[in-house]
Structure 1
Amino acid sequence: MKDWNVEKIGVVGPGIVGMPMAALLANAKIKIGNSSPAKVVVIQRNSKNSGWKVDAINSGKSVIGGIEPGLNDIVEKSVKEGILSASHDFNDIADADVILVSIQTDKKGLEPDYGPMFGGLTSLAEALQNKPAHKKPIIVFESTLAPSSMMTVMKDHFAKFGLIEGKDILLGNSPNRVMPGRLVERVAASDKLIGGLQPETPQMIKEIYSHIVKEGTLFTTNSLTAEIEKTLENAYRDVRIAFSAEIVRYCDDHNIDFFRLRDKINERLSQSDNATTDPNAVPSGGLLIPMIGVGGHCLPKDGILLWWRKIEKEQNTTNSLIVGSRAINDEAPQKSIELAERTFGSLDDKKIALLGAAYRFNSEDTRNSPTLELAKLLIEKGCDVKIHDPFVKPDDQNIMKYGFDSIFTNDFNAVLNNTDYIFLCTSHKYYMDDSEKIIHNKTIKGVFDGCNIYHSDTVSKIEVPYCGIGRGVEEPSDEFTQFVYDSFMACEKGVANEVKSLIEFFNGNYAQTDFNKAKFEDVQHLASTCSTGCEIVNPGQIEKIYSYNGFQSKLVEYAFNAQILPVNETL
């Protein structure tokens, strides 16, 4: 856009995406078309749970808890300099040149839940009725969207308010790749996708983001490709976790050392990482690390978002690896209880302390936390459950949603007293630093490691019965290792076949111009830029379902059978 002036940037939603983006955009002192740095205004609706964030930001404080290196200092500095501020009033960004939308999206059953998103977009669209006539603001969705949403749902929503895409506004999307505990680092260093409905839009967004993405590469594409790639990133990781869960459950049933197997497989794949021995390392290998469940905002929903339009058209999901992985991963809390009971005996009516309510280490994020599901299952068994976390607030909305406020505490000593069994659910550094209270606790009856926090040198010091996910002691045989490798490669090919079919479906049903069509090769390349590992192989024929002593991977069965009954065949 010629003579483009960027005087104000709005950020709607100061969560784990919006807060670091707003802080870094303010800190960058962006000057485009004028000599003064663009002001950054954060918008947060005045809700019961989150309304406090406006006053916090305006006092120079980040609203993100847990350990977030650098973020508080950047917020404090930017507020003092008068560049960063926050408001409850959407009218304060009616004259913004760029508006980032960082509102949480979720799923409701087998479809997206855009309720909160529409609430924010409606308020934004109403405010933009008063925008200066000469301005055509770029609205950038940092939120994850189901493929085709930009071309249909979001564009149509603004049109209802007379805001026509390409004429009155420009719509783009740049799905985030942040990670709790490393927000500032990930924004600056991660490669980032930028999509749009018009060819000019991604280029303009890139000009803005180049001021804060200093070490990563900015890739421009269309909105559909960005939507597919983002949901695929998390769906693919969900599949890898599910495959690893299938294998670890077999290992636990047969006393095989899963972590020794993991290192063998990942070395063979040239995808080794440090996560086997470092509980605060992010797994990026082929075989990941199954825990008590899969939490967080993205992984439990994004596979469903990727499949939404096909499900909407009543197309068959029976042989979908992506949809099938959800069922495997949802079983994890119950499987953890069963594993613990094989060592400790029945847990019925026992006193259980669950350590770690957040889904991720060193974070306060409880969204879809498997700890909460585990607590629910244990309570149903008559257990007296206590939950501890050093970072999560007692009034956390998910703690309150489950009705667990009466059993949650930040007092570590209190939760360790008068308990029968300790379940380590989240590998907070806090629990590693204070491990002596667990290792030498003779008042308890057992320790269950559900997050790969302790290793042989520590386990040997624990003075009560211990068990953990993947903690068998037998060396994996060469035959078993080959079976796992072959099954993994078949699963990888199955994912590629499924993605190719999905892309063909989206192009045939939603892409109205050549610019807005997705290509498998582009999605494959962009996925490979994900720092946690998303290497999609080429599609191809799967020769057979591999078997070892009667054991077969369900995911490989899905991949093989999809070639007989394709995933795009209607029910």
Structure 2
Amino acid sequence: MKITVMGLGYIGLPTAITLAEAGFEVCGFDVNEKTIETLKGGHIHIVEPGLQEAFETAVAHGHLHFSAELSKSDVFYIAVPTPFYQDESGTHKADLRFVESAGRMAGKVLEPKNLVILESTVPPRTTEMLARVLSEESGIAMDELHVAHCPERVIPGNMMFELKNNDRIVGARTPEAAEMAAAIYEKVLEKGIVHKTDDLTAEMCKLTENTFRDVNIAYANELSVICDKMGIDVFELIRLANCHPRVNILTPGVGVGGHCIAVDPWFIYEQFPEEAKVIHASRVRNENKPRFVADKVVSSLAKVTDTVGVLGLSYKPDVDDLRESPSIELCHILQEKGVRVVACEPFAEASEVQGIPNVSFEQVMREADYLVITLGHSIFKNNKELISEKSYYDCVGMME
């Protein structure tokens, strides 16, 4: 069986490698020719533990290759970005152009017996839209297409384990598509179980999972704001509250980032604005946290001309993923307030990240008068004593 994975980013590339490890013939496709050239040259373009080694093994065994040209295949995996944008009224809307584009490309080479799996996280009824696009391009009737939605549910930093061990949801438009998709995942999984349902339920399941996390993080972030007004150490408070056997409050931070938790709740709210009140309030709370932190930092500076060093720009510790990063938003707000900002993001190669000077840990410690700890990267945890010599604002409780 030949499988083509369309989109070789944070989800598509690990998925392609895992499928190849399971013995499938896998072609990785991406419209970015530089990405294809890098992979053909023997190197991956994202940071993920164990991924380079797994990539080299899969290529060496002849199960994995890459192409910038889309050709016929038994199965097409679509793993493209699904960001959001704000329309003229400020309403958050899902940007499904990449999904539609991938569907139209696949439709041009699609055959009736083929299976199309959408792995991208999408709003409800997107799989139906994809089936319509595939039908338009291929000439195959919608009710004869094999289309499934199997949302990824992995976390950066542990992808290679979770791709093989987390339960998977297979939501299909037909029983035949469900069986075809389930057979693939059952060959990949080592411990996880495949759960079959319809496509609409599968779409909503992924959104529900990430929205659950967003709401819980919002509670922790709201506690941090309330505790600040009361003069209470929020990290000690949460530690004590979590001694209760049925309480598990998360750790607050500078906000919520990443392509999932910071985005997916909007996909629900977009379609159900009157019903999703708690979801909306949680999103607003988490999106406002960087401004709260910026105000606290500015009020703590000895003088306006002080240089603020921000420790961490990715959205979570020890990964290179900068998407929807609240730390970057914090830096931009500080810059708008006239503060000179330098950042240390060890997982970003660029000397500048979205207009923010990105320097080494040694340099940020030399230049900064005041530090903001936004992430518990290992390099920061290993240098807590050095960090403690400067004035700082700890967003994540790393120095507790």
Indicate whether the TM-score tops 0.5: yes
Q: Say whether 1:375 aligns with 2:355.
A: no
* TM-score, normalisation: structure 1: 0.66
Deviation at residue 418 of structure 1 after TM alignment: 2.3
Q: Cα gap change, 1:44/1:214 in structure 2, threshold over 3 Å: closer, same or farther?
A: same
Q: Tell me the residue number matched to 1:291.
A: 253
Once the two structures are superposed, the pairs formed by residues 470-489 of structure 1 within 5 Å of their partners are none
Q: Say whether 1:14 aligns with 2:8.
A: yes
CA contact under 8 A between 1:349 and 1:381: conserved in structure 2? no
Q: Tell me the residue number matched to 2:166.
A: 190
Partner SS, residue 121 of structure 1: helix
Partner SS, residue 268 of structure 1: coil
Partner SS, residue 368 of structure 2: coil
Partner SS, residue 209 of structure 2: helix
Post-superposition Cα deviations, 1:445-464, rounded to whole Å, max 9, x if no partner, equal: x1111122222xxxxxxxxx
Identify which of 410, 427, 451 aligns with 2:396.
451
If asked which structure has higher relative contact order (CA below 8 Å, sep 6+), I would say: 1
Q: Say whether 1:413 aligns with 2:362.
A: yes
Q: Tell me the residue number matched to 1:147.
A: 124
Q: Say whether 1:40 aligns with 2:22.
A: no
Identify which of 159, 164, 181 aligns with 2:141.
164
CA contact under 8 A between 1:60 and 1:80: conserved in structure 2? no
Post-superposition Cα deviations, 1:251-273, rounded to whole Å, max 9, x if no partner, equal: 122122323332344343535xx
CA contact under 8 A between 2:50 and 2:160: conserved in structure 1? yes
Deviation at residue 60 of structure 1 after TM alignment: 3.4
Q: Cα gap change, 1:437/1:256 in structure 2, threshold over 3 Å: closer, same or farther?
A: closer
Using the alignment, how far apart are the partners of 2:351 and 2:119 within structure 1? 27
CA contact under 8 A between 2:99 and 2:130: conserved in structure 1? no
Q: Tell me the residue number matched to 2:237.
A: 261
Using the alignment, how far apart are the partners of 1:349 and 1:289 within structure 2? 31
CA contact under 8 A between 2:315 and 2:326: conserved in structure 1? yes
Identify which of 141, 157, 176 aligns with 2:152.
176
Partner SS, residue 288 of structure 1: coil
Using the alignment, how far apart are the partners of 1:261 and 1:412 within structure 2? 31
Using the alignment, how far apart are the partners of 2:355 and 2:239 within structure 1? 40
CA contact under 8 A between 2:74 and 2:114: conserved in structure 1? yes
Partner SS, residue 187 of structure 2: coil
Q: Cα gap change, 1:164/1:433 in structure 2, threshold over 3 Å: closer, same or farther?
A: farther
Q: Cα gap change, 1:82/1:59 in structure 2, threshold over 3 Å: closer, same or farther?
A: farther
Once the two structures are superposed, the pairs formed by residues 559-570 of structure 1 within 5 Å of their partners are none
State the identity as a percent: 27
Using the alignment, how far apart are the partners of 1:111 and 1:186 within structure 2? 29
Identify which of 341, 350, 359 aligns with 2:315.
359
Partner SS, residue 210 of structure 1: helix
Q: Tell me the residue number matched to 1:460.
A: none
Partner SS, residue 353 of structure 1: strand
Segments of structure 1 that go 5 or more residues without pairing to the other structure are 1-6, 30-37, 272-284, 456-571
Post-superposition Cα deviations, 1:474-533, rounded to whole Å, max 9, x if no partner, equal: xxxxxxxxxxxxxxxxxxxxxxxxxxxxxxxxxxxxxxxxxxxxxxxxxxxxxxxxxxxx
Q: Tell me the residue number matched to 2:79.
A: 102
Q: Tell me the residue number matched to 1:486.
A: none
Partner SS, residue 11 of structure 1: strand
Greater shift in the superposed pair: 118-127 or 102-111: 118-127
Q: Which letter maps to 1:338?
A: D
CA contact under 8 A between 1:40 and 1:85: conserved in structure 2? yes
Q: Which letter maps to 1:381?
A: K
Using the alignment, how far apart are the partners of 1:231 and 1:126 within structure 2? 30
Q: Which letter maps to 1:403?
A: G
Using the alignment, how far apart are the partners of 2:337 and 2:296 within structure 1? 15
Which of structures 1 and 2 has the bigger CA Rg? 1
Deviation at residue 378 of structure 1 after TM alignment: 0.6
Deviation at residue 145 of structure 1 after TM alignment: 1.0
Q: Tell me the residue number matched to 2:55.
A: 75
Using the alignment, how far apart are the partners of 1:395 and 1:223 within structure 2? 43
Post-superposition Cα deviations, 1:130-165, rounded to whole Å, max 9, x if no partner, equal: x4xxx52111111001012222x2222222212333
CA contact under 8 A between 1:178 and 1:186: conserved in structure 2? yes
Q: Tell me the residue number matched to 1:207.
A: 183
* TM-score, normalisation: structure 2: 0.93
Using the alignment, how far apart are the partners of 1:345 and 1:355 within structure 2? 16
Q: Which letter maps to 2:42?
A: G
Using the alignment, how far apart are the partners of 2:227 and 2:264 within structure 1? 28
Using the alignment, how far apart are the partners of 1:158 and 1:178 within structure 2? 27
Q: Tell me the residue number matched to 1:26.
A: 20
CA contact under 8 A between 1:145 and 1:227: conserved in structure 2? yes
Post-superposition Cα deviations, 1:396-442, rounded to whole Å, max 9, x if no partner, equal: 8xx3xx333xx123x222222222111111111121123344234xx
Using the alignment, how far apart are the partners of 1:347 and 1:102 within structure 2? 48
CA contact under 8 A between 2:106 and 2:134: conserved in structure 1? no
Once the two structures are superposed, the pairs formed by residues 508-527 of structure 1 within 5 Å of their partners are none
Q: Which letter maps to 1:268?
A: H
Q: Tell me the residue number matched to 2:378.
A: 429
Matched pairs, number: 394
Q: Which letter maps to 1:164?
A: A
Q: Tell me the residue number matched to 1:392.
A: 348
Q: Tell me the residue number matched to 1:515.
A: none
Deviation at residue 172 of structure 1 after TM alignment: 0.3
Identify which of 291, 310, 326 aligns with 1:334.
291
Q: Which letter maps to 1:334?
A: R
Q: Say whether 1:218 aligns with 2:167.
A: no
Using the alignment, how far apart are the partners of 1:165 and 1:97 within structure 2? 18
Q: Which letter maps to 1:433?
A: N
Q: Cα gap change, 1:237/1:322 in structure 2, threshold over 3 Å: closer, same or farther?
A: same
Higher strand fraction: Structure 1 or Structure 2? 2
Q: Which letter maps to 2:194?
A: L
Greater shift in the superposed pair: 223-232 or 416-425: 416-425
Post-superposition Cα deviations, 1:337-363, rounded to whole Å, max 9, x if no partner, equal: 233355x24663321111111011110
Partner SS, residue 74 of structure 1: helix
Deviation at residue 85 of structure 1 after TM alignment: 0.6
Identify which of 193, 196, 203 aligns with 1:227.
203
Q: Tell me the residue number matched to 2:89.
A: none
Identify which of 115, 119, 132 aligns with 1:138.
115
Post-superposition Cα deviations, 1:201-225, rounded to whole Å, max 9, x if no partner, equal: 2222111111222122211111111
Segments of structure 2 that go 5 or more residues without pairing to the other structure are 87-91
CA contact under 8 A between 2:235 and 2:397: conserved in structure 1? no
Q: Cα gap change, 1:246/1:120 in structure 2, threshold over 3 Å: closer, same or farther?
A: same
CA contact under 8 A between 1:173 and 1:195: conserved in structure 2? yes
Using the alignment, how far apart are the partners of 1:146 and 1:59 within structure 2? 36
Q: Which letter maps to 1:84?
A: L
Once the two structures are superposed, the pairs formed by residues 234-313 of structure 1 within 5 Å of their partners are 234-268=210-244, 270=246, 285=248, 287-311=249-273
Partner SS, residue 417 of structure 1: helix
